[in-house]
Structure 1
Amino acid sequence: MAGSMRVRIVTGTLAMGIAATLTGCFGNPVDALVDRAAQDGAEQVAEDLIEGMSDGEASVDFGSLPDGFPSEITLVSDNIIQSMTIDEGMVVIVTDPRGMDELVAQVESDFSGWEQEATADMGEMLNVTYRKDESLSVNVSIIAPSGEEEATVGYTVIPAQ
């Protein structure tokens, strides 16, 4: 079941990326009402996709933390791009202008009291899973492309079941 849950959360994260793409398609600065309707539509599309993949309820937001986000999790940046809540947990995606080394050092510091369970280093992408006793598990994914693009840091939060 845990493997299936992780696959659904990863799939949900991809759906959030689709929603971000959709909101980028409706950037008419002249008409704020159209912008808001487009964003609301993209959020609904993302929620529908995620609910279909997870067989449960989903909530997608742009620019804010989900309700009930654990206070013991420190984000590397306040620049929240998207967040999502599904039955199994939460996902929060932020951007940050720093490079991979600085972000890794920040994440290691933020989770210094947690047990590190797994690490996968793929060069421009690093995934680390942390566990706080038996109450909470967090997978942190850092994508820091070389060049001038901002890094993206995703937090997948899975409370104990």
Structure 2
Amino acid sequence: MKTLAGFGQYSRRARYEGGDLRFLLDFPQLTCLVLDHNSIESHVKIAAAPNLQTLWVNHNKIKNLGLFISTLCKSCPNLKYLSMMNNEAAPSYFNGGTYQQYADYRHFVIAHFPKLEMLDDKKIEDSERSEAKRIYGRKAIPRNVTATRSILESTKP
């Protein structure tokens, strides 16, 4: 990562595969981040990334949707594109989920990200957003969630 030193303020996109993601705090202008295949779990804590618009967390170990989305919507409130495919928390036909589980998953996520335009591989329709708001509103966020692991939180001296 030393080759990236000094370029954080200019970088807008990043793809990373590995365990230590603390360096991402040095990229305040980051708008796109791919974290596929990183063993990220539901209880991960993500540092504030208000400029982040695109996040891919496909093929990770996210099992608890409420816990993960609670953290994510606070840290990345301006997401437009989110992909969580091949995580237990994102049921689909391809991983054994039913249509109803898939619809519930989408409604829950959409209710927490008002600027979200695309979830996984599907554009969000106005009717889907209305249904998500009707079902969940903003009350779907678990209130007393304690993060136990940090992937983006700084440990700098």
| TM category, shorter | under 0.3
Give 1 or 2: higher helix fraction.
1
| Higher RCO, Cα 8 Å, sep 6+ | 2
Give 1 or 2: higher strand fraction.
1
Q: TM-score, normalized by length of structure 2?
A: 0.27
Q: TM-score, normalized by length of structure 1?
A: 0.27
